[in-house]
């Protein structure tokens, strides 16, 4: 299994440039086609603001043209690259185009955080229906030699085990990590079975159960990845209702808010 088509949001921000350049390198690694998307939405302003509306529409048109120019410049040497433009929220547009992609690439933050011009990662992960790779701010290209896989036997984690296989099989070391309140009394969490499954695909996996140290498992995962020298965390996303996750905090929320590593999420 490998990634054949990558989909990336392209904009004119500095973060957008990092995202695109890193996506180009990733596509080259997998021999994949790269589809770039320029997307921005326009919500009409109240009556009487017609001139402002016109200016806003012109700004969006210019931004989309500039995004396409950047994409074609950066991908000029690529044999497989395609461009799409949508006048809608980037997260929505990416999700619709995800039907033709194996992996969607977004960013954790951007200089402009408005959902009209930036694909908010929480919205993207929930709606894409395919794995989403979230890049940390101003990130170096993904190496992926060491990966931490935060495991919990949920639907989302089981899906992540399949979605992340191209990264997992390419890694030199994968730490399959389960955090539990009490390791001694941990229930049958499927850890041995999923490890055997991954090894059958040639993944060099090490299994560990650890007791939770932080208030949030997400922070424990980030600390584990930093300690292991990993630049990629794999996890299932939003394994509990999102409202509860937003109120009480959860793994997904902490990874999207704080991770200095790349994060691959499946929902």
For residues 216-239, one letter each, b for 16 or more C-beta atoms within 10 angstroms of the residue's C-beta and e for the rest, the string is bbbbbbbebbeebebbbbbbbbbb
Strands (E) across 52-131 are located at 81-86, 103-107
Q: What is the pLDDT of residue 240?
A: 58
pTM: 0.91
Q: What is the mean pLDDT of each run of 10 residues along the chain (267 residues)?
A: 95 94 97 97 59 78 95 96 96 97 95 86 94 95 97 94 97 94 67 96 95 78 95 87 49 91 96
> What is the enclosing helix (H) or strand (E) of 67?
helix 50-74
Residue 184 near residue 210, CB atoms below 8 Å: no
Domains of the chain with CATH codes: 5-135 (3.40.50.620), 146-266 (3.40.50.620)
Q: What is the pLDDT of residue 99?
A: 97
Q: What is the pLDDT of residue 110?
A: 86
C-alpha dihedral, 21 to 23 to 24 to 29, nearest 10° = 130
What's the rounded Cα separation, in Å, for the pair 263 and 73? Answer: 27
Measuring CA to CA, how many Å separate 200 from each of 156, 157, 168, 234?
A: 21, 18, 12, 19
Per-residue tokens: 138 = 């101003």
Q: What is the pLDDT of residue 139?
A: 92
Per-residue tokens: 202 = 């040639």
What's the rounded Cα separation, in Å, for the pair 56 and 221? Answer: 42
Q: What is the pLDDT of residue 238?
A: 82
What's the rounded Cα separation, in Å, for the pair 209 and 207? Answer: 7
Q: What is the pLDDT of residue 200?
A: 97
């Amino acid at each position: 299994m490998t990634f054949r088509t990558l989909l990336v949001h392209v904009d004119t921000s500095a973060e957008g440039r990092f995202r695109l350049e890193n996506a180009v390198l990733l596509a080259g690694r997998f021999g994949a086609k790269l589809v770039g998307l320029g997307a921005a939405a326009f919500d009409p302003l109240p009556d009487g603001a017609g001139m402002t509306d016109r200016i806003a529409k012109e700004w969006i048109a210019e931004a989309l043209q500039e995004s396409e120019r950047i994409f074609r410049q950066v991908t000029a040497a690529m044999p497989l690259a395609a461009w799409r433009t949508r006048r809608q929220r980037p997260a929505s547009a990416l999700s619709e185009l995800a039907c033709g992609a194996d992996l969607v690439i977004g960013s954790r933050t951007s200089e402009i955080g408005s959902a009209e011009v930036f694909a908010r990662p929480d919205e993207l992960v929930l709606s894409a229906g395919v794995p989403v790779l979230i890049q940390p701010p101003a990130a170096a290209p993904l190496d992926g030699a060491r990966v931490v896989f935060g495991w919990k036997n949920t639907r989302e984690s089981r899906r992540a085990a399949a979605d992340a296989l191209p990264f997992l099989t390419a890694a030199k070391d994968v730490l399959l990590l389960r955090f539990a309140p009490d390791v001694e009394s941990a229930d049958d969490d499927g850890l041995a079975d999923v490890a055997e499954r991954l090894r059958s695909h040639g993944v060099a996996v090490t299994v560990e159960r650890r007791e939770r140290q932080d208030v949030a498992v997400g922070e424990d995962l980030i600390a584990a990845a930093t300690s292991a020298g990993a630049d990629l965390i794999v996890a299932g996303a939003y394994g509990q209702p999102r409202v509860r996750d937003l109120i009480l905090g959860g793994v997904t929320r902490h990874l999207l808010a704080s991770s200095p590593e790349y994060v691959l999420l499946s929902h």
